[in-house]
Structure 1
Amino acid sequence: MKTYYENSQAVVAELGQLLGKVSEEQQQEYAQALLQAEQVFFVGVGRVRLALEAAVKRLTHLGIHCHMVGDLNEPPITDKDLLVVGSGSGESLFPLGIAKKAKTFDARIVHLTSNPESSIAQLADVIVRFESPSKSSQAFTSIQPMTTVFEQGLLVFHDVLALQLMEEKGMTFEQLKANHANLE
């Protein structure tokens, strides 16, 4: 039986492997799409949705107008907007249906996935590939169950991306803090 320390080191190594293989070009395309969009909508299911909710919170602090698909205050999407679809397999029914619907409004689509050949990828304008296990492929054998490393990767990836976007926007930590919720 492995110790907590051994497992934590293995998980950190897996995340390092995952994040280290994200294409700089794909990441840059995504960053520019976020900055150019009037509004950014995010969709994912399960733990992917949770990771994307954290991204929405942080990107909102950066002054990017973000929404989760399905939230009560979700406005309509337009051709000036971006839909970010998180799905490791790229075949999850709800995100696929939302991507198809967004295309009817001429919104741009970014797909965060481990399967760049997926049905959702076929609709995407930008694909960011995470080499990780998914329902459709095994990029490597993870010590973690199912698609955990993909979900963790989405969370950490967006935190790293936020640092880059802060720099590109010339924002300080104080400016970021000024956009933080204050009813806490």
Structure 2
Amino acid sequence: MKFSEAQSLVVSEVSATLDAVSDDEVAALSRSIAEADRVFFVGVGRVLLALESVAKRLGHLGVDTVVVGQVTEPAITPADLLVVGSGSGESAIPLAIAAKAKSIGARVAHIGANPSSSMAAHADVFVRIPVQTKFSSGSEVSSVQPMTSLFEQCLLLLGDSVALALIDSQGIDLASLWQHHANLE
């Protein structure tokens, strides 16, 4: 397959998937982010890589973000939000961390594909990215890409879209974002 064919398939799948994401669910996530003192992120594998990018971008907006497991991770409190990325909603580490966050009183937002997953017991907010995961029901957007690439791609773009919506709703001047950019590079 040529690059042009492959990229066309990838872009087509991403577009179809993001078109199927609920505006109301994303609005609830955006509100939860805006209302939280700190926003913690947890995921595993490539999902974690996408979430780290989302955390970094929201940090540029002045949101106090933390990736779970960082050596400088502070305590989570009831004033905070934990964003869990897990397509299946069954990943053991994110499930355990979500349960712990809820026991402390923090709010939990789950971005995933399966609204009936074990994570549903912990989530205050759910954003469905309707793609196939390792536990597909058959009603999701299908993909020719390996494994859960489509979920990870859409997770990153959903995060960038949330950031853009927050910039707009909070009237943030784009030029001012540079004050939060790393400067030791």
Question: TM-score band, normalised by the shorter chain?
Answer: over 0.9
Counterpart of 2:38 in structure 1 is 39
After TM superposition, give the deviation of residue 140 of structure 1 in Å. 3.2
Cα distance in structure 2, aligned partners of 1:140 and 1:63 = 34
Counterpart of 2:23 in structure 1 is 24
Gaps of 5+ in 2: none
Cα displacement string for residues 118-149 of structure 1 (whole angstroms, at most 9, x for unaligned residues): 11122100000001011111413311001000
Cα distance in structure 2, aligned partners of 1:141 and 1:65 = 35
Instruction: Tell me the amino acid that sits aligned with residue 124 of structure 2.
Output: D
* C-alpha contact 2:55 2:67 (8 A) present in aligned 1: yes
Q: Tell me, what secondary structure is at the counterpart of 1:12?
A: helix
Cα displacement string for residues 77-117 of structure 1 (whole angstroms, at most 9, x for unaligned residues): 01000000000000000000000100110100000000011
Identity of aligned residues (%): 48
Q: Which deviates more, 137-146 or 9-18?
A: 137-146
Counterpart of 2:114 in structure 1 is 115
Counterpart of 1:172 in structure 2 is 173
Q: Tell me, what secondary structure is at the counterpart of 1:116?
A: coil
Cα distance in structure 2, aligned partners of 1:7 and 1:40 = 35
Cα distance in structure 1, aligned partners of 2:57 and 2:113 = 23
Matched, 1:101 2:104: no
Cα distance in structure 1, aligned partners of 2:21 and 2:176 = 29
Quote the RMSD (CA, aligned, Å): 0.8
Instruction: Tell me the amino acid that sits aligned with residue 66 of structure 1.
Output: T
Q: Tell me, what secondary structure is at the counterpart of 1:14?
A: helix
Alignment of 1:33-182 (within 5 A): 33-137=32-136, 138=138, 139-182=140-183
Gaps of 5+ in 1: none
* C-alpha contact 2:25 2:127 (8 A) present in aligned 1: yes
Cα distance in structure 2, aligned partners of 1:127 and 1:11 = 25
Instruction: Tell me the amino acid that sits aligned with residue 118 of structure 1.
Output: S
Instruction: Tell me the amino acid that sits aligned with residue 109 of structure 2.
Output: V
Cα distance in structure 2, aligned partners of 1:140 and 1:20 = 11
Cα distance in structure 1, aligned partners of 2:75 and 2:112 = 25
